[in-house]
Amino acid sequence: MDAAFYLAAAVAIVATLLVVVLPSAVHALLYLVVSLLAVAVVFYVLGAPFAAALEVIVYAGAIMVLFIFVMMMLNLGQAAAAQERGWLAPTTWIGPAGLAVLLLAELVYVLAHTASDAGPARVVEARAVGALLFGPYLLGVELASFLLLAGLVGAYHLGWRDSRDG
């Protein structure tokens, strides 16, 4: 399991570095999805399948949809549409697809070995998760909500167009 952890961590680090370095917002979003999926694999390997599922559902699902919605809201015109057509080239998808396939192979490996090695699964109730989120981790939850609020306000101001400008 140590190898699976280090492999997923390496994929997460490489994908996150590419998110920061790449000039194209679409490419950065693709690598951000890969990075979030790699973090979910890390959570699963560490024995937190619920946190892994939340990572995939909330971050890789909902937050990425929000980012794509903001990019659509900006709608930069015909030049941006032509550039976007170039992004749909198959070469654009080689990096993210390769890292995603590596994560999928690792997940299959971990699931195959966990099922035979592990004892009975322990069920975590929603009440216990809620008690932790609004107990000792309350500050983290509130900070995350402020961060999401700031992103929402920023997206609104970026997408807002003055009706007097035409």
Residue 131: what pLDDT? Answer: 86
Please state whether 114 falls in left (phi above 0), alpha (psi between -120 and 50) or beta: alpha
Residue 13: in which H helix or E strand, if any? helix 2-21
Residue 11: what pLDDT? Answer: 92
Query: Looking at the predicted structure, is the pLDDT value of residue 135 above 80?
Result: yes
Tens digit of each residue's pLDDT (9 = 90 or more) over 68-109: 777 777 666 667 667 767 767 777 788 888 888 888 888 888
Exposed (0-12), middle (13-18) or buried (19+): which is 54, by Cβ within 10 Å? Answer: middle
Provide the 8-state DSSP code for 117: H
* Domain ranges (residues) in the chain: 2-122, 126-166
In angstroms, the Cα distances linking 137 to 62, 140, 142, 144 are: 21, 5, 9, 11
More confident residue, 3 or 114: 3
In angstroms, the Cα distances linking 156 to 72, 74, 143, 150 are: 12, 10, 20, 10
Provide the 8-state DSSP code for 118: -
The string over 71-103, giving b where at least 16 C-beta atoms fall within 10 Å of a residue's C-beta and e elsewhere, is beeeeeeeeeeeeeeeeeeeeeeebbeebbebb
What fold does the segment set 2-122 form as a domain? Four Helix Bundle (Hemerythrin (Met), subunit A) (1.20.120)
Residue 116: what pLDDT? Answer: 61
- Amino acid occupying residue 107: L
Query: Looking at the predicted structure, is the pLDDT value of residue 117 above 70?
Result: no
Average per-residue pLDDT for the chain: 79
Cα distance from N-terminal residue to C-terminal residue, the chain: 59
Residue 76: what pLDDT? Answer: 60
